[in-house]
Chains A and B, each alone.
Chain A
Amino acid sequence: MIEVLSMPFMQRAITGGLILAVIAGVLSVFIVLKRLSFIGVGISHTAFGGVALGVLLGINPYVTAIIFALLGAISIGSISRRGMIHEDTSIGILFATAMALGVIFIALAKNYNVDIMGYLFGNILSLVDSDIYLAVAVGVLILLFLAIFFRRMIFAAFDEEVAVVNGIPVAFLFYMFLSIVALTIVISIKMVGIILISAMLVIPGATAYMITYDFLLLTILSVLFAIAGVLLGLFASFWFNLPSGATIVVTLTFLFLIVLAVNPKKRVIL
């Protein structure tokens, strides 16, 4: 075990995984409170169109992925705030279209060397130093933003109208939040992949939500569940030679099911 931990690729995997776990742990609290999990799915799948466009144009797929994810976040956000079309309808259309475009771009690129599976499902053991630097930089910015606006975001999630009357910049916070989700999705592409990241943005918060009525404790627990899921999943994937992203998600789900079975809030089920 010690030897494994001393290997550089493992150290990078652990560092990257921990950064992602902390960010996803905090974000998932708001995603669960505001019921935005489908928005997370929508944004991440939109990013796939961006990756594919980057491959087609021969430019860094991360750049195009960020652009697609941010555009997806802002359009989903404005549709949802205006309430013209039902949110689930618009997301359903948007993300399927972005995926379809992605498939077409990949087919046009005819570049069979591109590891599409890597983008879709990630491989946290393949991180390089520059991935870590990017994750640290983005992570620090995101956590700084969340630290400044945490209470205001809770307020907006709880009672939006009163938050507006108290002068809280609710619309700004909403779009910033979606943009942060988009950035998180992009830095997580190599780690857990486009398909699986939405699970990390929901499960830790949903697990902690079943335990406490205290929002600070909820956030701490959510981060701890995310960290536990990432570390346990990472080691399990290494020992049993399983795909890392999928193993992390299944581990998170396993923790979720344990808490669900224990039912700490003694909720009446059925």
Chain B
Amino acid sequence: MKKALRVSGLNVTLSGRRILENISFDVEEGKILGIVGPNGGGKTTLLKAILGLVSYEGEISIFGFSPAEARKRGIVGYLPQRSLFDPDFPLKAKDVVALGMVKGWFGKLPSDWKERVEHYLKLVNMEEWKDYPFGKLSGGQQQRVSIARVLAGEPQIVFLDEPNTGVDVVAQEDFYQLLTKLNRELNLTIVMVSHDIGVISSYIHEVACLNRVLHYHGAPVCLTQPEILKKVYGPAADRVLVHDEKCENCGYPDISGGK
């Protein structure tokens, strides 16, 4: 099987502080990798290093290309951790989705760009909002439009940083179904940072537990193993697991309020 992503011996130091230490892992094409870990554990920094947005030591290859080369070829999609947008910015939801297809130095939008915009807005259930100013949408709606933007670029691998922040529970469920579908139909490789580690365990193929170092990379079973969670999250591990109906006998009390 083809390697979609290969990270080896990755170190990242920001402002003199070592944020990531000796991280190595691979992701095969067509897999969904979930990255979990406490706040400040370096998840966002890991994605940025992989995309070449922060300087790093070590080796990174995306489908055999360096981060810069992969960006140039337009094969990566990125959804940053949610940021605040100027509510008056003169872009409508459909314009934001169209930007996903704007790549490289030159080059026009694909001839079917309008259909693609409609298609991807529909996929995230935002088609009625296409003429609405992006900055005036709610946080969760902006997030869904941003996901449509990533998908509209039709990348081979996507990096999603907490894509569900601000998205309500029903939409979250839909979103994971959508990712699973895209993953299966398009063989799209997905790397996703997430907080709801109980829920994602049933949608992802592999998990990486990150807190400066990579504590675990493998099958999502780690999410149900107290000792690994303890290593990653420390004594607060008890409060991390959002209990999921698919996860039984994991040794943690149900803290989701009896779902």
A215-B104 Cα distance, complex, nearest whole Å? 21
Residues B92 and A166 in contact, CB atoms below 8 Å apart? no
Q: Is A92 an interface position by the 8 A CB rule? A: no
Structural contact, A168 and B103, CB atoms closer than 8 A: yes
CB distance from A163 to the nearest CB of B (A): 8
* Bound form: Cα–Cα A168–B76 in Å: 13
Q: Looking at chain A's contact residues, is the secondary structure mostly helix, strand, loop, or mixed?
A: helix
Contact A166:B90 (CB < 8 A) given known A161-B80, A215-B95: no
The answer on a CB contact under 8 Å between A213 and B100 is no
> A165 touching B106 by the CB < 8 A rule?
no
Which stretch (B18-26, B66-74, B120-128, B174-182) binds chain A? B66-74
Nearest CB in chain A to that of B83: its residue = A159
Q: In this assembly, does A260 line the interface, its C-beta being within 8 Å of a C-beta of chain B?
A: no
* Least Cβ–Cβ distance between B259 and chain A, in angstroms: 35
B90 touches A212 (CB 8 A): yes
Known: A161-B53, A215-B95. A168 touches B104 (CB 8 A): yes
Tell me whether A158 is interfacial, beta carbon within 8 Å: yes
Count, A-B residue pairs, CB within 8 A: 72
Given the known interface contacts A161-B80, A213-B133, A215-B95, the answer about A166 and B89 at a Cβ–Cβ threshold of 8 Å is: no
Contacts of B106 in A (CB 8 A): 148
Residues from chain A with a CB closer than 8 A to the CB of B89 are: 33, 158
| Contact yes or no, A167 B91, CB < 8 A | no
Stretch of A14-22, A50-58, A149-157, A238-246 lying at the B interface: A149-157
| A212-B78 Cα distance, complex, nearest whole Å | 28
Q: Which residues of A contact B91 (CB under 8 A)?
A: 154, 158, 213, 215
Interface of chain A residues 91 through 134 with chain B (CB within 8 A): none
Residues of A within 8 A of B102 (CB): 151-152, 155, 166, 168
Using CB atoms, name the residue of chain B closest to A173: B105
A225 contacts chain B at the CB level, 8 A cutoff: no
B88 on interface, CB distance cutoff 8 Å: yes
Interface check A3, CB cutoff 8 A? no
Residues of A within 8 A of B85 (CB): 158
Within 8 A of A (CB), among B104-125: 104-106
Cβ of A215 and Cβ of B90 under 8 Å apart?
yes
Q: Does B153 sit at the interface, judged by CB under 8 A? A: yes
- Contact indicator A167/B90 (Cβ below 8 Å): no
Write out the residue numbers on chain B whose beta carbons fall within 8 Å of the beta carbon of A161.
53, 78, 80
The 8 closest A-B pairs by CB, nearest first: A213-B133, A165-B78, A215-B90, A167-B104, A218-B90, A166-B103, A167-B71, A167-B72
A-B contact pairs, 25 of them (CB 8 A): A152-B102, A154-B99, A158-B91, A158-B96, A158-B99, A159-B80, A161-B80, A162-B80, A162-B149, A164-B71, A165-B51, A165-B76, A166-B71, A166-B99, A166-B102, A166-B103, A166-B104, A167-B73, A168-B102, A168-B104, A168-B105, A213-B91, A213-B92, A214-B92, A215-B90
